Amino acid sequence: MDPLRPDTTRMMTEALSALRKPEARGQAFSTASAQAAQPLSLRQRLRAIVGDAPHTERDMDALRLPLLRCILAEQWGDRATDDPLFHEILAAVDHDMQGRPELRHVLHEAVLALLKT
């Protein structure tokens, strides 16, 4: 077993679990251009992936990989997505989530939390 895989799965679970907590609100900007200059937060990027519609279990399966990819890219940087190891780790974590009901539940709860924001 790859020693990196359990740590990565735990990191993904923690990131998804953290979505249940409201995002810290920063100070409001006075202009739209100042807001546009700010990069999107991880929560905002994940929210864009989830969309606005309620999700069935089948939808969760389709959302899982894009959400995991986004979280890993946030953790390791967008340039890491070009590395073949990134895709191996992503596939391993995805496989873990498919086979473990408690991880699928964490994903479902995270998606519900994103829909409320």
55-74 confidence digits (pLDDT tens): 787 888 889 999 999 999 99
Note the pLDDT of residue 15.
76
Note the pLDDT of residue 14.
78
Q: What is the rounded CA–CA span in Å between residue 35 and residue 54?
A: 28
Note the pLDDT of residue 95.
92
Note the pLDDT of residue 37.
63
Quick check: pTM over 0.95? no
Residues of the chain where predicted confidence (pLDDT) is lower than 50: 1-4, 24-31
Decide if 11 contacts 105 (C-beta within 8 A): no
Note the pLDDT of residue 1.
42
